[in-house]
Chain A
């Protein structure tokens, strides 16, 4: 089949693409660091902890920039060929991804605040507590942090699976909209789809 000439690939803005891939690496790294750190009693614990906290704050800041960018610069529309169920899943999973990107660092920050821990951004630089000192709240938020983290990992796995489905099987322009390294949102020429299936 051929993508109709009236349906050119529209890419995400360059800022959206840069933030997406940068944060993909950071968030996956954070999830692996977090899940290792939460179990280990080994020598890496404190090193990972001192990496985990500033990275979390950085992700929070980038997620807010990204949310603003998404609201100001609308993402490219999904192709018409996508069934309604997949559209709903795409919308829902993206809302969930944004919510978790913002909630995870806030829960982590709030958890340290409630536990009476100093919130160390980096050596010597402390952030103010965002919740009152409350051990029961600390315990609750510590569990919430784990479950949100596992949920975020699951949503990322589904997101990656869907992205690869678009890239390798549907070939409907959804994947290059985010994966392209080209400047600008549109190409001057309409993109030819492939007709191998």
Chain B
């Protein structure tokens, strides 16, 4: 490392400015500027503005407000646990270990759609069931199911625009017909889907409700044969009509009371699509006569508040799938995956106030 004591007297200057050097400096500057611009464009920092994850969260907040610490959508919920017992009948369609005969533990969550964590229960509000099924080999399966027949948008952009079109008017507190009308007129798929959602049959509560994947997926069998599928959790409990009037937490209290009585069960019914069934459009229902496979039974036996429950610190990203099940070309799936990740980052960095369904309202154990 030692420098020679007598450095050359004619030491070269760092560089000599001149027209040629300036031109080369400009060239270097141009290369760096192009690289930085490409990066900024890729990140979406330059116009035209694209729909981003935070843009989607902002649209949800425009409808339901900002609620620190809570999920941006399906904010009011309760944790449940139990197990899924595969019966092996779907194993001819998919190599997923969770579908073989045997039990896998489940951490689930029931919720009401919408970003308001303290909204009052109402029979017609959309209910959801989210599940994390954890077979022993680690090939877990997460899903977020809803009690509606179809989803109301084909793409992330459509869902975003629908949120903004139907956001409550600050003066009336209701969607502005002057915005909703033109939106539905220009989005016939959404209008048709919304009509199907509105005329669905409504059950008495979470326990006797049917929850659907809405999005399409692919089952892959041992020979690599792929079939398009959608699925539903169909209750074993008898379906009852909803009460005419309910209190703020009636649906959640009903679920907790039912679990105190005994476990609740659902059958996982897989619908097998044909080549004519759309996989990329969740606003279109598949025909009711599609082949159905009973893949196993979900049993839930315990409720816990989100405040200390196991469903709070995870996200029910429907693209977390075991080997043997894959996402379809449905554009709503990556939109959900990415927006859930963003919402999870935001809420996990915030302090959550107590949830509407508190540990006290569940009582000790939450188990029969």
Contact = CB atoms under 8 A, between A and B. Distances in A.
Contact of A170 (B14, B31, B55, B140): B14
B233 interface: no
B154 to A, nearest CB: 12
Interface in B135-166: 138-140, 156
A117 B348 CA distance: 14
Contacts of B28: 161, 164-165, 168-169
Contacts of B244: none
A165 B339 CA distance: 42
Nearest to B35: A157
B50 A39 contact: yes
Contacts of B51: 41-42
Interface of B: 3, 7-8, 11-12, 14-16, 18, 20-21, 24-25, 27-28, 31-32, 35-36, 38-39, 42-44, 50-56, 138-140, 156, 312-315, 317, 319-320, 323, 327, 329, 331, 333-335, 337-339, 344-346, 348-349
Contacts of B8: 4
Given A43-B334, A44-B334, A135 B320 contact: no
A59 to B, nearest CB: 18
A136 B349 contact: yes
Given A39-B50, A42-B156, A45-B337, A117 B36 contact: no
Interface of A: 1, 4, 31-32, 35-46, 49, 80-83, 86, 115-118, 123-124, 126, 133-136, 138-140, 142-143, 153, 157, 160-161, 164-165, 168-170, 196-197
22 contacts: A4-B8, A32-B42, A36-B43, A38-B53, A40-B52, A40-B338, A41-B55, A42-B331, A46-B319, A46-B333, A46-B334, A81-B11, A81-B12, A115-B314, A115-B348, A117-B320, A134-B313, A135-B312, A135-B344, A136-B348, A169-B24, A197-B21
Contact of B21 (A4, A118, A169): A169
B62 to A, nearest CB: 16
A138 B348 contact: yes
A153 B348 contact: no
Nearest to B13: A81
A41 B338 contact: yes
A123 B323 contact: yes
Given A45-B337, A46-B327, A169-B25, A39 B52 contact: yes
Most buried by A among B11, B333, B349: B349
B43 A35 contact: yes
Contacts of A37: 338
Nearest to A50: B319
Contacts of B25: 169
A157 B138 CA distance: 41
A126 B138 contact: yes
Given A36-B42, A123-B323, 17 more contacts: A4-B8, A35-B42, A39-B50, A40-B50, A41-B334, A42-B50, A45-B335, A46-B337, A115-B348, A117-B320, A124-B323, A139-B345, A140-B349, A157-B32, A164-B27, A169-B25, A170-B14
B7 A80 contact: yes
A102 B12 CA distance: 37
Given A46-B333, A46-B334, A126-B138, A153 B39 contact: yes
Contacts of B18: 197
Nearest to A36: B42
B323 A118 contact: no
A168 B27 contact: yes
Contacts of B54: 39
A115 to B, nearest CB: 7
The winner among A35, A42, A136 for most chain B CB atoms within 10 A is: A42
